[in-house]
Amino acid sequence: MQPVLAVMYMVQYMPTVGYWLMDKIGANRVEAAAHKGNTYSLGLLFGKKKTA
C-alpha cells in the first residue's frame, strides 16, 4: 500500500478527513525527513515517544 496515494484519494473523495489527516501528520513527516528518518511510519500518525 502506498500511504501517499491513500491520502491523495482521501483528499479527493473525503476532503475534510484528508486535510485533517495531512494537518495531523504533515509537520511530523517534514521533521522525520529532515532527520533522514522514515517518512512513511505509522508512528507519525499515532505519535511516538521523543527521546532527549
Q: For the segment 17-46, what is each residue's pLDDT rounded down to a tens digit?
A: 888 888 888 777 778 778 887 777 667 666
Report the chain's mean pLDDT, rounded to a whole number.
77
Residue 52 CA to residue 18 CA, distance in Å, equals: 32
- By C-alpha distance, which of 36, 32, 34, 16 is closest to 45? 32
**Could you tell me the pLDDT band of residue 13, with boundaries at 50, 70 and 90?**
very high
Looking at mean pLDDT, say which of 6-10, 11-15, 25-29, 41-45 comes out highest.
Answer: 11-15
Listed by start position, the domains of the chain span 3-39
pLDDT value, residue 52: 47
Which tops the pLDDT comparison, 19 or 50?
19
Q: Structure pTM?
A: 0.57
